Structure 1
Amino acid sequence: MLDFTWKVFTFTGNIDTYLLFKELEKERTKDCQMKEEERTEVDLPV
Structure 2
Amino acid sequence: MIEFTWKLFSQTGNIDTYLLFKELEREQQPSSDEQVTERKEVDQPVF
For these two proteins, the number of residue pairs brought into alignment is 43
Structure number with greater Rg is 2
Residue in structure 1 matched with residue 23 of structure 2 by the alignment: 23
Structure 1 runs (4+) greater than 6 angstroms displaced: none
TM-score computed with the length of structure 1 as normaliser: 0.69
> Counterparts of 2:25 and 2:17 in 1: how far apart (Å)?
12
Unaligned runs of at least 5 residues, structure 2: none
Identity %: 63
TM-score computed with the length of structure 2 as normaliser: 0.67
Which amino acid in 1 is paired with 2:20?
Answer: L
More helix by share: 1
Unaligned runs of at least 5 residues, structure 1: none
Aligned-residue RMSD, C-alpha: 2.6
